[in-house]
Amino acid sequence: MRRIDKDQRARIRLTLNGRALSAEAEPRMLLSDFLRHSLGATGTHVGCEHGVCGCCTVLIDGTAVRSCLTLAVQAEGRDVRTVESLAAADGTLNPLQRAFQNHHALQCGFCTPGILMSFTDYLARNPRPSEADIRDVLSGHLCRCTGYAGIVSALLEAAGYRQSSESGSKS
Amino acid sequence: MSFVGTPVRRKEDPALLSGRGRYADDLPTPAGTLHAQIIRSPHPHAEIVHIDAVAALAKDGVWTVITGEDIRKMSDPFLVVLKAPVHQWSLAVGRVRYVGEPVALVVAESRYLAEDAAELVNIEYRPLEAVVDPQAACAATAPLLHTEAKTNEISVRKFSYGDTKSAFERADARVALTVEFPRLSFTPMECYVVVAQYNAADDGYDVLANFQGPFSTHPVMARALRVPGPRLRLRIPPDSGGSFGIKLSVFPYIVLMALAARIAGRPVKWVEDRAEHLVAASSGPNRITGIEAAVTKDGRILGLRLDQLEDYGAFLRAPMPGPLYRMHGAITGAYDIANVDAVNRVVLTNKMPASLIRGFGGPQLYMALERLVQCIAVELGLDHLDVIRRNLVPAAKMPYRAAAGSLYDSGDYPRAVATAIGHGRLDDLKRRRDVARAAGRKYGIGFAAVVEPAMSNMGYLSTLLTADVREKAGPKNGAISMVTVNIDPLGAVSVTADSTMQGQGHETVLAQIVADQLGLQPDDINVVLEMDTAKDQWSIAAGTYSCRFTPGTAVAAHIAASRMADKLKDIGAKQLNVLPGDVELVAGKIRSRSNPDNAAPFGRVAGTSHWSPVMLPEGMAPALSETAQWAPELEPPSSDDRINTSLTYGFVFDMCGIEIDMLTYQVRVDRYVSMHDAGRILNPMIAEGQMRGAFAQGIAAALYEEYAYNDEGAFLTGTFADYLVPTVSEIPPVEMLHQETPSPLTPLGAKGLAEGNCMSVPACIANAIADALGVKDVQVPATPRRIHALMEGSGR
Ligand code: FES
Ligand code: FES
């Protein structure tokens, strides 16, 4: 395992959304800060920096983690995915993102990237969860705007319970 | 076909869903930007004896450490409406008055470095006795927060409307109650962000901040910085991560970082962290209301008396004490009550300064009024709902002038109530209650009826001053909204507006309104809502607060777009060789109504003013840009203190059934129904989202959230583990019902709708708890600990 002195800046290499990237960081730098400020991936948000709100959730090797509770050095050599990776290159939203738009599952959108990343992981592992399961996972995230109803509807659509409605619908 | 009134999907969403939002902390900063860390007071009340920054300044990468003394020399205290000697600067000067108050600022090359250096700054304090309880703070012996003011109770105003004295004399009974409303905030997920620059060439400041308005605070900031308004250039980013009133209170930090940039000679950036946000950003004011009704034996309310003591914390900040006055004209709520006396008192204590928060005075007022109505029913042995219905403003009296001055523009409250309880809804609630009670469980039914004001009369706060002081100061009244519709050389349409956005979907709704007028699709309309005070139009009323968008900015958009449409029709008439009255804008075309084949593409006609102004009809100003200023009539306070506090008034009626878990003492909402009349709905999907968001915040206030202090003034809720923001598991289902009584006062007929449930839900749930337990004093948030105490106390 690589050893890094606590006061020494080190170059950290990882794969971000399929691209190999690197930047210098102190060992104490949070992964959330590293992604946002060193690598310029500002889609990941920071809402509490103490592991409660879920805004900062990203995937490391496919598993959802809170990047505010992870040091940048811990992501060394790993495959990191953030919300910027979800839509197609031409901007077409994926089914989960579309479901969020269909069900008005976001207002300010600040909590949204974290929820999308949590459920990208969760739905990949559990393609057919129950509503109770969905609510259980969602309870790891705070949203101040929506009251959650639209988010639950969107997640039900993404899990295949509802016909996708492209017209814009009420939940 | 019209887009207004339909659930058009949001234009905002694709970017926000793909991580391409442009929030304040995402935007590029100028080269050489430094980062700030604020050192905050650990004491609720203390003198600052000495600040030693030598060790911090010796650290590599640290540029400066700024103290209150530096700030005092360079800036003036913030203006407040109330002329009391309560001076606040952007850093504490001489004394700290609440835990979390900014005391010093470290500016360094990175945030990590600034935080390290902050730990090396040594601040010596001499602690003083603190006062936390608002009633104790009013006592003559209480420690003074601002010695020059000689009292903590810095404003007392008495109001009298009608003949309350004789109403009480002829009443069959009196019912009285004291109600406390706690401190809380709706903690947006994005905290404050400020990036400030000082430009020596023009002695001006250029600041980016996720400020929400009202822009009446811009002159407050400029005055503090000792510059004329144009030299405080404030930019607001395109996206903001929620606000709910809270992002007004970034303004002292805007001033602080502007001064820091000047001192450091470099741009300075500050991003608030969650710990700072919880301890010091902003809170709604806590209020203690003594309320008493004079009633007939069948529950008709003849007169009301209120004593409202509102606690603003350590300082009064503009535009405080707004919550105490914003509802003033509507102090009688949804009821037809001719006589009311009120005493409004403002007190300062050793807590963080209170300010704007969604609901803005409504939750405090309705907790008192709606609890009172329930108590009237209990004490007179009447049905709660009957007492509500007996007192509601009758539909035939609309438009209705309330005793304290509000003009309720439209509505049919009794019909809304009838609809809400209909379809077996109330019967179902009663059945659930009866079943639960028969099994020995604690179940209660609650109701609340509230009037929801929207778009504040900018003069409402001057009701705080006496009539002769107002006379001298000159009238303050009205509220302006501004929107500009632009056409580019190829006929593309863009819109700018005087609202800031934090997720309310304004971009989409403005696009719907403009698209309707111009015969285009919402996707064709480019709405740009980031703001730059140096270049965009704004008035003191600008910003997003007190539900001003629907009755204000949306109307200005409608007017600007319809004027643009009229011009384009005139231009089109000339090009199509038809009369202007025969031209219509439909489906991206400008065409003859009588002969639709005689048509030209919208873009070609719309671009005419750019390419060939000579082709314009005689005397027409080019159709490049139309700015509408919507300034509906709103009178200043009258000499007898009557004030129409807002332009439109919606109605919300809630009913719910709750059950108390006998093991955990938790309140479980069993069924909740909320009926709204917000006039015409512009986008039902977005409207529903706003209402559900407000509902969740109402639940939060009723059952979970409170900023708590101990008696010594220590702050007890400094993390999200102590300050309980509801997750999806805590938000019960709600059935939303709608009735549409358009406002006659605006061309769109739409009223505000995003605050009503913040006002109604805490009162409705408190009423249900009172019903379940047969108690009178219900304190929100009704936590298990409080419910347990209530049940012990009442021996149940
Ligand atoms: S920012 Fe990481 S959980 Fe809140
Ligand atoms: S959409 Fe604003 S916090 Fe969730």
The residue among B635, B603, B360 whose CA lies nearest residue B479 is B635
Residues of A in contact with B21 (CB under 8 A): 42-43, 109-110
Measured distance CA(B487)–CA(B133) in Å, rounded: 57
- The tokens of A34 are what? 């590293």
Q: Which atom of ligand 1 is nearest to the CA of A54?
A: 3
Q: Is the CB of B242 within 6 Å of ligand 2? A: yes
Asked whether B429 and B671 are in contact (CB, 8 A), the reply is yes
How crowded is residue B120: how many other Cβ atoms within 10 Å of its Cβ?
A: 17
What are the structural domains of chain A? 10-84 (3.10.20.30), 95-170 (1.10.150.120)
Q: Is the CB of A106 under 6 A from ligand 2?
A: yes
Cβ neighbours of residue B471 under 8 Å, at least 6 residues apart? none
Q: Which residues contact B539 (CB under 8 A, 6 or more apart)?
A: B215, B480, B482, B498
- Cβ <8 Å between A152 and B728: yes
Check pocket membership of A143 for ligand 2, CB cut-off 6 A. yes
B468 burial class (0-12, 13-18, 19+ CB within 10 angstroms)? exposed
Backbone angles phi, psi at B408, to 5 degrees: -70, 115
Tell me whether residue B206 is exposed, middle or buried, using C-beta atoms within 10 angstroms of its C-beta: 0 to 12, 13 to 18, 19 or more: buried
Beta bridge partners of B673: B655, B735
Helix/strand/coil for B271: strand
Number of inter-chain CB pairs under 8 A, A vs B: 186
pLDDT of residue A164: 61
d(CA A126, CA B789) in angstroms, rounded, equals 44
- CA–CA separation, B452 vs B646, rounded Å? 9
Q: Do B725 and A144 touch (CB under 8 A)?
A: yes
Q: Do residues B543 and B479 touch, judged by C-beta distance below 8 A?
A: no
pLDDT of residue A163: 65
CA atoms of B159 and B141, how far apart (whole Å): 27
Q: Which amino acid is at B596?
A: P
d(CA B431, CA B448): 20
Short-list B210, B362, B371, CA closest to B277: B210
User: Is there an atom of ligand 2 within 6 Å of A31 CB?
Assistant: no
State the Cα–Cα distance between residues A102 and A171, nearest whole angstrom.
9
* Neighbouring residues of B9: CB distance < 8 A, sequence distance ≥ 6: A101, A102, A104, A167, A168, B508, B685
Q: Which helix (H) or strand (E) holds B572?
A: helix B554-576
Spatial CB neighbours of B325, under 8 Å, sequence gap ≥ 6 = B344, B361, B460, B461, B463, B464, B645
Residues ≥6 apart with Cβ < 8 Å to B611? B489
Element spanning B208, H or E:
strand B204-209
Which chain A residues are Cβ-neighbours of B692 within 8 angstroms?
146-147, 149-150
Structure tokens given for B336: 């037809």
Nearest-by-Cβ selection for A169 from B7, B244, B505: B7
**What pLDDT does residue A165 have?**
55
Cβ-contact B291, B176 below 8 angstroms: yes
User: How many Å lie between the centroid of ligand 2 and the Cα of residue A145?
Assistant: 4
**Of chain B residues 256-275, which have a CB less than 8 A from chain A?**
273-275
Considering only the beta carbons, identify the residue of B6, B186, B503 that sits closest to A109.
B503
pTM comes to 0.97
On whether the B286-459+636-792 domain is CATH 3.30.365.10, my answer is yes
Which residues in chain B are contacts of A45 at CB distance < 8 A? 23, 189-190, 241
In chain B (796 residues long), the average pLDDT of successive 10-residue segments reads 95 98 97 98 98 98 98 96 92 98 98 97 98 98 97 98 98 98 98 98 97 96 98 98 97 98 98 98 98 98 98 96 97 98 98 97 98 98 98 98 98 98 98 98 98 94 92 89 97 96 96 98 97 95 92 97 97 95 96 97 94 89 94 94 97 98 97 98 98 98 98 97 97 98 97 97 98 97 97 73
Output the 3-class SS for chain A. CCCCCCCCCEEEEEEECCEEEEEEECCCCEHHHHHHHHCCCCCCCCCCCCCCCCCCEEEECCEEEEHHHCEHHHHCCCEEECHHHCCCCCCCCCHHHHHHHHCCCCCCCCCHHHHHHHHHHHHHHCCCCCHHHHHHHHCCCCCCCCCCHHHHHHHHHHCCCCCCCCCCCCC
Residues in B 644-703 with any Cβ partner in A closer than 8 A: 684-686, 688-689, 692-697
In B720-767 the beta strands, taken as DSSP E runs, fall at 735-739
Judge: B693–A146 Cβ closer than 8 Å, yes or no: yes
Q: Which of A49, A55, A84 sits opposite B18 (nearest CB)?
A: A84
Give me ligand 2 centre to Cα B732, in Å.
18
A11-70 pLDDT tens trace: 999 999 999 999 999 999 999 999 999 999 999 999 999 999 999 999 999 999 999 999
Please tell me whether residue B440 adopts helix, strand or coil conformation.
Answer: coil
Find the radius of gyration of the CA atoms of chain B. Answer: 27
CA of B690 to the centre of ligand 1 (A): 24
Which of B259, B313, B227 lies closest to B105, judged by CA? B259
Beta bridge partners of A23: A12
CA of A94, closest CA in chain B: separation in Å?
Answer: 10
Residue B277's nearest CA partner among B192, B208, B361 is B192
Cα B219–chain centre separation: 20
Using CB atoms, which residue from B189, B694, B695 is nearest to A47? Answer: B189
Q: Which of residues 9-68 of B touch A (CB under 8 A)?
A: 9-10, 12-14, 16-21, 23, 25-26
Separation in Å, CA B435 to CA B424, B430, B442, B444, B643: 16, 9, 10, 12, 47
C-alpha of B295 from chain center: 33
How does B627-649 read in b/e, with b if 16+ C-beta sit within 10 Å?
ebebebebebbeeebbbbbbbbb
Q: Phi and psi of B656, rounded to 5°?
A: -150, 160
Taking the centre of ligand 1 as the mean of its atom positions, its distance from the CA of residue A54, in whole angstroms, is 5
| Rounded distance between C-alpha atoms, residue B296 and residue A48, angstroms | 53
What are the residues whose beta carbons fall under 8 Å from the beta carbon of B465, sequence distance 6 or more?
A: B81, B473
Write the residue in B18, B241, B720 that is nearest to A110 by C-beta: B241
- Pick the residue from chain A with its C-alpha nearest to B725: A142
d(CA B363, CA B757): 9
Residue ranges in B151-230 assigned as alpha helix (H): 164-170, 217-225
Handedness of CA B790, B794, B795, B796 (dihedral sign): negative
Q: Which residues of A touch B721 (CB under 8 A)?
A: 50, 52
Selected residue of B1, B8, B13 to mutate for chain A interface (largest A Cβ count, 10 A): B13
Terminal Cα-to-Cα distance of chain A (whole angstroms): 50
Residue B449 to residue A144: CA distance in whole angstroms: 25
Give A139's contacts in chain B (Cβ within 8 Å).
Answer: 727-729
Q: How many residues does chain B have?
A: 796
> What's chain A's length in residues?
171
The finding on whether A109 has its CB within 6 A of some atom of ligand 2 is: yes
- Measured in Å, how far apart are chain B's first and last C-alpha atoms? 60
Residue with structure tokens 């409170």?
A: B706
Radius of gyration of chain A (CA): 17
Cβ-Cβ contacts under 8 Å, B25 against chain A = 36, 42
Are B43 and B350 contacting, i.e. CB atoms less than 8 angstroms apart? no
User: Is B188–A49 a contact, with Cβ atoms under 8 angstroms apart?
Assistant: no
Distances (CA, A) of B407 to B236, B460, B759: 34, 13, 19
pLDDT at A8 over 90: no
Check CB contact of B508 with chain A, cutoff 8 Å. no
Q: Look at residues B742, B491, B504 and name the one whose alpha carbon lies nearest to residue B624.
A: B491
What is the pairing mode between strands B268-271 and B34-40?
parallel
Q: Residue B149 class from Cβ within 10 Å (0-12 exposed, 13-18 middle, 19+ buried)?
A: middle
